[in-house]
C-alpha cells in the first residue's frame, strides 16, 4: 500500500495570499469616494422649488428648467423680475458632507432685478425645507455660500457668506452682519467655476472655489443661538441667468468601524446603526 504525503504549505500559502488580497481589496474600497449625483441631467426629479408669491412647486414662467444636460435658471418668461426670488431644493437633508457644484453666469440680468443681484446666485445650506417657507418669503432661513461673477473690470470677491435668519462664528467671533466678504478671487464672464462646500454639522464649514479655500468658519446657528447641525440644500434664482452642470455630494456620515463592509475611511461622523457585517 502506498501513502501519498500532501504538503499543507502550498495550500496555506494560497490561503494567506487570498486573505491578504481580500484585505487589501477591502482597504482599497474604503478609500474610494462614493459621490452621488443630485442632478440627473435630464429633469428636476428629486427637487422641490419655491418662488416668492407662488405655491410650492409652482414653476412660474419655467424659471427652473433642464436643457442640454444643464439645470438652467432663466427669466425669458418674465415681463419684470419684481422680487420673485426663487429657490430649488434637493429633497433630502444632509449634515456632514462635501457638495460640489459647477456653475456659470450667462446672458443679461432680468428687467428690474436688484443691482446687487447682478451675476449673483448662491448655495443655500443647513436650510429650512421648501414646504416650510411662507408664500411671500424672500429667502429660506439658511447659510449661503454666495456665488458672484465679475463685470469684466472691477474686483468682486467670490465665495462670501450671507446669513438669512442665521449667524456664524469667524475667527472665534460671532458675526451678526448679513453678509461677510471672503478673500476669494473674481471670476469674470461666463467661465465655468467649481464651488465646493465642506460642512461638518454645526462645527467646521469651508467654502472652496476651484480647489482654493476662500472662507472658513464655525458654529452656524439660528439668530436665537440654536445650533444648525444640518438641513436642506438649495440653489437660487435672484434675477441673473445661471447654468449648473454638476451637482454632486459626498456624504461624510456613516459607519466608522473598519470591520464593517460599508466602512469608509473618509467618514467624519459615526453612524453605528448603519454598519453592515458579513
- Say if 1 falls within a structural domain: no
- Say if 188 falls within a structural domain: yes
Per-residue pLDDT, 21: 52
- Say if 270 falls within a structural domain: no
* Number of domains the chain is built from: 1
Per-residue pLDDT, 22: 53
Per-residue pLDDT, 5: 47
Q: Which domain holds residue 140?
A: 36-254
Whole-structure pTM value: 0.89
- Say if 136 falls within a structural domain: yes
The CATH number given to whatever domain includes residue 207 is 2.60.120.560
Per-residue pLDDT, 260: 96
- Strand order through the sheet with 86-90: 47-51, 86-90, 232-237, 120-127, 143-148, 161-162, 179-180
Per-residue pLDDT, 28: 73
What is the full DSSP assignment across 174-239? EE-SSEE---PPP-BTT--EEEEEEEETTS-EEEEETTEEEEEEEEEEETTS-B---BEEEEEESS
Per-residue pLDDT, 27: 64
- Say if 191 falls within a structural domain: yes
- Say if 262 falls within a structural domain: no
pLDDT lower than 50: segments of the chain: 1-6, 11-12, 19
Per-residue pLDDT, 267: 98
Under DSSP, is residue 120 helix (H, G, I), strand (E, B) or coil? strand
Per-residue pLDDT, 7: 53
Q: Which of 189, 39, 207 is nearest to 104 (CA)?
A: 189
Per-residue pLDDT, 186: 93
- Say if 239 falls within a structural domain: yes
- Say if 52 falls within a structural domain: yes
Amino acid at each position: 500500500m502506498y501513502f501519498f504525503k500532501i504538503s499543507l504549505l502550498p495550500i496555506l500559502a494560497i490561503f494567506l495570499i487570498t486573505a491578504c488580497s481580500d484585505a487589501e481589496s477591502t482597504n482599497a474600497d474604503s478609500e474610494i469616494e462614493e459621490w452621488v449625483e443630485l442632478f440627473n441631467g435630464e429633469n428636476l426629479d428629486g427637487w422641490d422649488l419655491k418662488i416668492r408669491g407662488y405655491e410650492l412647486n409652482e414653476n412660474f414662467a419655467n424659471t427652473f428648467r433642464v436643457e442640454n444636460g444643464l439645470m438652467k435658471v432663466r427669466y425669458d418668461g418674465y415681463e419684470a423680475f419684481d422680487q420673485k426670488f426663487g429657490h430649488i431644493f434637493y429633497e433630502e437633508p444632509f449634515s456632514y458632507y462635501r457638495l460640489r457644484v459647477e456653475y456659470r453666469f450667462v446672458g443679461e440680468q432680468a428687467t428690474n432685478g436688484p443691482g446687487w443681484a447682478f451675476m449673483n446666485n448662491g448655495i443655500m445650506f443647513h436650510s429650512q425645507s421648501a414646504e416650510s417657507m411662507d408664500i411671500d418669503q424672500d429667502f429660506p432661513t439658511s447659510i449661503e455660500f454666495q456665488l458672484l461673477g465679475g463685470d469684466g473690470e472691477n474686483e468682486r470677491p467670490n465665495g462670501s457668506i450671507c446669513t438669512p435668519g442665521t449667524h456664524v462664528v469667524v475667527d472665534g467671533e460671532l458675526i451678526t452682519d448679513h453678509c461677510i466678504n471672503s478673500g476669494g478671487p473674481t471670476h469674470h464672464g461666463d467661465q465655468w467655476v467649481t464651488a465646493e462646500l465642506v460642512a461638518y454639522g454645526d462645527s467646521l464649514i469651508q467654502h472652496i472655489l476651484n480647489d482654493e479655500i476662500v472662507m472658513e468658519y464655525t458654529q452656524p446657528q439660528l439668530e436665537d443661538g440654536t445650533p444648525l447641525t444640518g438641513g436642506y440644500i438649495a440653489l437660487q434664482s435672484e434675477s441673473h441667468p445661471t447654468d449648473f452642470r454638476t451637482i454632486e455630494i459626498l456624504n461624510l456620515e456613516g459607519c466608522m468601524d473598519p470591520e464593517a463592509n460599508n466602512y469608509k475611511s473618509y467618514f467624519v461622523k459615526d453612524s453605528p446603526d448603519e454598519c453592515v457585517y458579513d
